Structure 1
Amino acid sequence: MADVVEVIGRRGGSATFAELRAVVSARAIRTALAAGVINRVAKGVYSLPAAPPALIAARSQGGVVSHLSAAQHWGFGVLNPPDLPHVTLPPGRARRRAGLPCVLHWADAPALDDVTTPLRTVLDCLRIAPPAEGLAIADSALRSGRVDHDLLLDAANRLKGPHRRRIQQLVAFADARAESVLESVLRYLLIARGIEGFVPQLQVRDGEFSARLDLGHPRLLLGLEADGFAFHGTRRALVKDCRRQANLTIRGWRVLRFSWEDIMYDPDWVIATIERAAGLPPLTNRLLQAA
């Protein structure tokens, strides 16, 4: 049984009957199955009980992990994890009725160990995800170092199919400096509204003080912070942040802080607040002036 478990473990948590039979006996497979140390998830496909669900689903369908599930596999920031694994099958391959439930796509998708490549994963996510979520994944992929921006730009320019133009625009805006998905969403709100001049992770520094702003406008001395759930994790963190805020203020910086709820559920208020702080007229007035 140890041999069966070891073989499946080397395969990432699941393996086909043929892959197992190449190194272990059919009796060993049956014994491991009867003992409950492996599971049969589809005809001719076996997995360890704790194997990654997306990978099991993909192999049960004869496909590869893709889209948002692949983004999770590569450690990219996914704002809304999928309810079901995303799996891509080769064109023309039918869904297996005995396979595990999943969201199926059909395409010739390059993969590594049955997961779409990081670059292909970003492009797939940009195609199906809302723009803000797609940008967050692209930012995270660049930050991780798994995806090169120039290669991503080139791949986007060669794309065909639905949403091609939107994908190219988002890839152009993707930035490795963004440090969280919430920061990426906040930046997307600025992009969508046509507000320019904010720099991700802007460094504010002099001889006595140094701090980084999630987004900073050097000319306006206006900073934006995207505060997640655990921003003040400890009393010490709160004290440190209060001093940071005071130091920024005496250096002429105004800092607007927005919570997860603000950014995700009240983006119009967020943008209106930024416009007012930046001295910008509402968007409708700006459009009238431009006309």
Structure 2
Amino acid sequence: MSEVVDVLYRRAGTARFAELRALVSARAIRTALADGAIRRIAKGVYALPPVPDPLAAARAQGGLVSHLSAAVAHGFSVLDLPDKPQITVPRGQHRRLSPIPCDLHWADEVSSDGLCTGKLRTVLDCARTLPFEAALTVADSALRLGAVDRSQLLIAAAELTGPGSRRARRVAAAADARAESPLEFVLRSVLIEAGIDGFEPQVVVRDGTFSARIDLGHPGLLIALEADGFAYHSTRTALTRDCHRHVNLTLRGWRLLRFSWEDVMFDRQWVVTAIRAAIAGSPGHHNVLEIHGHRGDAFAG
């Protein structure tokens, strides 16, 4: 069911049945519909259900929009939109009766930016409570936008105590302003979780009249990783330009591994196995890697 929701997120909240069916099973669509995770808005057209207004929820509870809801309000990239507004209220305050459903959090003192938690506080809240890849997506985006300074993030994370403090420090240490897209943020988190080092965001390869940027590059091993979204090749011109780029990188000794949104989101073990195989096959690297998994035949020979 989560795959159906993810596909709809990727298509700005709506999709036709044929578009969904090309990526997920009919059973998953029926289950998501029955559970209320998606809704039918016209014959053969599905959409995500509307989310209550977080500002209205904050006013109703006498608190602040926080966590993922605040991240969205601040314009940060998020891996998943919250299904309910996330609100923080002063510790000791009881939940108020309200027709607006929300996820409530409590805190002693919270910096505010209007009716939202402050940008730094929002990143820290997400870092404390979200899975690593989702938290890193918010932190990378905040740094890239210049909304948060990395040194301030590191200091603030180091001063945290209580639940999620260690998780927040890990996110702060890994956050990087150079990463550009949510899919790239997640691919970076996959590498970090797997303990694969040496890959840097947005590596520039420049040689004479040729110049290209790589989503994640290992300058020492000349391995390039690209995270391609669904509409990466929207035109034939774009496809031709990318083919030229790929050839030029290959001529300069780079090996390019490209992963789709489905690979990064749903088949991370295969992604890790592929990258480790590329590392093992690099000049000067003598490890031998036996590949297992349903895509192992892609590396045969």
Return the TM-score normalized by structure 1. 0.77
The amino acid that maps onto 2:192 is: I
The amino acid that maps onto 2:223 is: L
Deviation at 1:99, TM superposition (A): 5.0
The match for 2:31 is none
Distance 1:234 1:77 in 2: 26
Counterparts of 1:16-35 in structure 2, within 5 Å, are none
Give the greater-gyration-radius structure (CA).
1
Q: 1:58 to 1:282 in 2, by over 3 A?
A: farther
SS in 2 for 1:153: helix
Check if 1:59 corresponds to 2:55. Answer: no
Distance 2:152 2:253 in 1: 40
Counterparts of 1:151-166 in structure 2, within 5 Å, are 151-166=152-167
Counterparts of 1:118-157 in structure 2, within 5 Å, are 118-157=119-158
Deviation at 1:189, TM superposition (A): 1.2
SS in 1 for 2:157: helix
8 Å contact kept, 1:201–1:216: yes
Deviation at 1:163, TM superposition (A): 2.0
Q: 1:282 to 1:173 in 2, by over 3 A?
A: farther
SS in 1 for 2:147: coil
The match for 1:167 is 168
Counterparts of 1:55-204 in structure 2, within 5 Å, are 55-98=55-98, 100-107=100-107, 108-204=109-205
What percentage of aligned pairs have identical amino acids?
57
Check if 1:254 corresponds to 2:255. Answer: yes
Distance 1:253 1:242 in 2: 14
Q: Deviations over 1:250-277 (max 9, x none)?
A: 1111100001110111100000000001
Distance 2:60 2:267 in 1: 41
Deviation at 1:219, TM superposition (A): 1.2
Distance 1:232 1:59 in 2: 44
Distance 1:137 1:252 in 2: 34
Distance 1:281 1:66 in 2: 47
Give structure 1 regions of 4+ aligned residues with deviation exceeding 4 angstroms.
Answer: 280-283
Deviation at 1:242, TM superposition (A): 1.0
Deviation at 1:56, TM superposition (A): 1.2
Distance 2:166 2:60 in 1: 34
Deviation at 1:138, TM superposition (A): 0.4
Say how many residue pairs are matched. 233
Structure 1 unmatched runs, 5+: 1-51, 284-291
Q: 1:244 to 1:272 in 2, by over 3 A?
A: same
Counterparts of 1:205-284 in structure 2, within 5 Å, are 205-279=206-280
Deviation at 1:98, TM superposition (A): 2.5
Structure 2 unmatched runs, 5+: 1-51, 281-286, 291-301
Distance 2:65 2:86 in 1: 6
Deviation at 1:282, TM superposition (A): 5.7
Distance 2:276 2:169 in 1: 27
SS in 2 for 1:135: helix
Deviation at 1:139, TM superposition (A): 0.3
The amino acid that maps onto 2:164 is: H
Q: Deviations over 1:164-185 (max 9, x none)?
A: 1121111011000000111111
